Amino acid sequence: MIRLWDLGQQRCVHSYAVHTDSVWALASTPTFSHVYSGGRDLSLYLTDLSTRESVLLCTEEHPIQQLALHDDGIWVATTDSSVHRWHSEGLNPEKVFQRGGSFLAGNLSFSRARASLEGSTPVPVYREATSSINGIPGIVQHEILNNKRHVLTKDNAGSVKLWEITRGAVIEDYGQVSFEKKKEELFEMVSIPSWFTADTRLGSLSIHLDTPQCFSAEMYSADLSITEKAEDDKINLARETLKGLLVHWLAKKKHKFGSQTSANGEVASGRSITVSRGEVDGNGENDSKVYPPFAFSTVSPPSIITEGSQSGPWRKKITDLDGTEDEKEFPWWVLDCILHNRLPPREHTNFYLHPCEGSAAQILTQGKLSAPRILRIHKVVNYVVEKMVLDKPLDSLSSDGAFGPGSVDGSFRSGFKPWKLKPSIEILCNNQVLSPDMSLATVRTYIWKKPEDLVLNYRIVSTR
């Protein structure tokens, strides 16, 4: 429904029922004698405001969102990413009505009083646009996969693609396939905290990071195929992603102003940052190297949209950062992470470890254990074996801090090689034997399924 309002009287003086659905866009001639309208019904109409005569100019394949008159044409933007130009006779709209096919606009919602046959469907005056500006198909659907590194998207051309968030790149283009079936195919029984949120309302993939939640996800370097680090080194996904995004800024900052390096290898910051709750990442040196799973493209670089601690919002491509940006333009927690290697305290999973009912295995501990959520079950197996054989964990078990009554994560950390034969110990949860590659978080999510602390059982099995 199109409504004409008298601003002086503050009331609607005329209504024009032209469209069969919502009207989303309007454009009038300079003299305000005629109005062009488009909307959800995919149709573009021209209406004479004085005679109520209306004609269907054209139909689009997608709902119309914006109109812009230019000379004798009109540009039409739809929910699709392309923009089309149609003939409109904008300088002399009466010429369009001379072609015939017009009808009288009714004044009741979604009704038409036609001069022609009642109930007839209007015929468009124009069948093809005079020119088009083609855009990239916009993303209309997305799903964050369980591994929390990949996002599956579908655009308005029907193409399904797989994105790797830590590199900002498409790693698989599946073409026009079923989005739901592909999502099922890519399902992995893993549990990783949600460290980012995704948004596709603008037709592109936007990733949002915020502290402290973004620092909650970790993976072992072996799972990321990072050969430069030890296999069981923990990699914080947000920290490495931020390093990849700001590597150009750090390099140019160092080149322009020189770098002052402290004893532990940190790049000195221009201001001190006080953090009430945080810890220095204990996984070794604060290296500035960007590993392959976190290397962003310089050919098609992503843009950073952020708001500084003492400044307003801004946007730049990562390759446009020239090193002159003031540190106050960045969130304090980003600088604290990449310059000082400080992260929020790591979260752990509490669990109990008891022998299976009826098992001949000895009771190893009565208390509660604590370990990082990414800890693999094979390390729990190692811990049980150590306790049975040595009657105490190795000194290296304290590598992740104080746990009570014993730490599990550091088990056999020094010089230990994973089991090559079938282990003599099995770990169970809810009477289900656990795969050695499962993490505590995965077990808790898919096997335990309870809010209480996780309970694991162990038993001795015969070896071949």
What pLDDT band is residue 120 in, cutting at 50, 70 and 90? low
Residue 408 banded pLDDT, cuts 50, 70, 90: low
- pLDDT at position 260 over 80: no
Cα of 354 vs its chain's centroid, Å = 40
Q: Give the Cα separation of 230 and 227 in Å (integer).
A: 7
* pLDDT (tens digit per residue) in 203-219: 899 999 999 999 999 99
Q: 100-114, 154-168, 439-453 — which is least confidently predicted?
A: 100-114
The pLDDT confidence band at residue 463, using thresholds 50, 70 and 90, is: low
Q: Does the pLDDT value for residue 256 go beyond 80?
A: no
pLDDT at residue number 405:
46
* Angle of CA points 336, 338, 341, to nearest 5°: 65
CA–chain centroid gap for 374, Å, is 22
- Which of the four pLDDT bands, split at 50, 70 and 90, describes residue 363? confident
Q: What domains appear along the chain, each with residue ranges and CATH number?
A: 2-133 (2.130.10.10), 136-208 (no CATH), 213-346 (no CATH), 348-460 (3.10.20.90)
Grouping H, G, I as helix, E, B as strand and the rest as coil, residue 147 is: coil
Tell me the pTM.
Answer: 0.74
Residue 304 pLDDT exceeds 50: yes
Closest CA to 183 of 216, 154, 207, 225: 154
Tell me the mean pLDDT in the region 87-92. 80
CA distance 267 to 248: 14
pLDDT band, very low/low/confident/very high, at 112 (cuts 50, 70, 90): very low
- Amino acid 157: pLDDT: 87
Q: Residue 404 phi/psi, 5° resolution?
A: -135, 145
In sequence order, the 6+-apart residues with CB closer than 8 A to the CB of 44 are 36, 37, 38, 56, 57, 58, 59, 60, 64, 67, 74, 76, 86
Q: Give the Å distances, CA to CA, from 380 to 207, 244, 400, 405, 415.
A: 35, 33, 15, 14, 17
Distance of alpha carbon 350 from alpha carbon 354, whole angstroms: 13
Helices (H), 258-311: none
| pLDDT digit string, tens, across residues 55-85 | 999 999 999 999 999 988 999 999 888 999 9
Say how far apart CA 185 and CA 178 lie, in whole Å: 11
Give the pLDDT confidence score for residue 342 in this predicted structure. Answer: 92
Burial 64-90, CB ≥16 within 10 A → b, else e: bbebebeeebbbbbbbbbbbbbbbbbb
